[in-house]
Chain A
Amino acid sequence: AQSVSQHNHHVILSEAASLELGCNYSYGGTVNLFWYVQYPGQHLQLLLKYFSGDPLVKGIKGFEAEFIKSKFSFNLRKPSVQWSDTAEYFCAGPASKAAGNKLTFGGGTRVLVKP
């Protein structure tokens, strides 16, 4: 079964700083990877997804992620964060090839952007 791990549990940074959140997955077959964001008090929202094709995917709100197959990584980036990016970010992928929509989530990274 696939596992998804996120490197940082908490990240604190100032507005306009660059953000990179690490995500590694263990599954070696065809992968479909997601980043979800959970703003305080709200539900999970999809930031971006990778199914195939260009390994650099663009998401909403200026976020992007790069799928690097050789490193089993799918790191999330944003060049310049805003206070409103304060949220918890989750990386996710299928539990296995047959799992379909059954996703495995990383432990989440809480990002605090100081004004």
Chain B
Amino acid sequence: NAGVMQNPRHLVRRRGQEARLRCSPMKGHSHVYWYRQLPEEGLKFMVYLQKENIIDESGMPKERFSAEFPKEGPSILRIQQVVRGDSAAYFCASSPFGGQGSAGANVLTFGAGSRLTVL
């Protein structure tokens, strides 16, 4: 079981370029979550997706950021026209169930993260 796979592990972009971060969830997991960790800060929720659906994007910046989880292939977090403030570690997590509206929350399994540096 390969766990949650994220790539690239490190990505360097110049201001104005695009960044694409990929996440393959654990086998059997159909729920994907993206978190961002800014330097010296905790993890902040960005977006929650199921296959072909965005369930909750309340943590996504209104512009330049988008996420998808197609029927086939990994989930992708896309940042257009990157700025220095986008430099952060982006973590993906997956779970087998969504837990929406339930009394409990399922355990998330995290990937190793993708560290984006914007020059």
Whether chains A and B associate is yes
Residues in A whose Cβ lies below 8 Å from that of B25: none
We find that the number of chain A residues with CB closer than 8 angstroms to chain B is 30
A101 touches B110 (CB 8 A): no
Residues in B whose Cβ lies below 8 Å from that of A106: 42
B56 touches A102 (CB 8 A): yes
B45 touches A108 (CB 8 A): no
Comparing A11-19, A39-47, A64-72, A74-82, the segment that makes contact with chain B is A39-47
Q: How far is the CA of A51 from the CA of B102 in the complex (A)?
A: 12
* A111 CB–B CB distance under 8 Å: no
* A105 CB–B CB distance under 8 Å: yes
Interface 0/1 of A1-37, CB less than 8 Å to B: 0000010000000000000000000000010101010
Within 8 A of A (CB), among B36-81: 41-45, 48, 56
B100 touches A100 (CB 8 A): yes
Residues in B whose Cβ lies below 8 Å from that of A52: 104
A94 touches B105 (CB 8 A): yes
Contacts between the two chains (Cβ within 8 Å), count = 72
Residue in A42, A43, A90 whose CB lies within 8 Å of B42: A90
Residues in A whose Cβ lies below 8 Å from that of B101: 98, 100
A43 touches B105 (CB 8 A): no
* A59 CB–B CB distance under 8 Å: no
Q: How far is the CA of A20 from the CA of B56 in the complex (A)?
A: 34
Q: How far is the CA of A95 from the CA of B102 in the complex (A)?
A: 13
Within 8 A of A (CB), among B69-119: 91, 93, 95, 97-113
B45 touches A95 (CB 8 A): yes
Residues in B whose Cβ lies below 8 Å from that of A42: 112
With contacts A42-B112, A51-B104 taken as known, whether A104 is within 8 angstroms of B99 at the C-beta atoms is no
A residues with CB within 8 A of B:
6, 30, 32, 34, 36, 42-46, 49, 51-52, 90, 92-95, 97-108
Please list 17 pairs of residues, one from A and one from B, whose beta carbons are closer than 8 Å in the complex, sorted by A's number. Answer: A6-B42, A30-B103, A44-B91, A52-B104, A92-B43, A94-B99, A94-B105, A100-B101, A100-B105, A101-B31, A101-B33, A101-B97, A101-B106, A102-B45, A103-B33, A105-B43, A106-B42
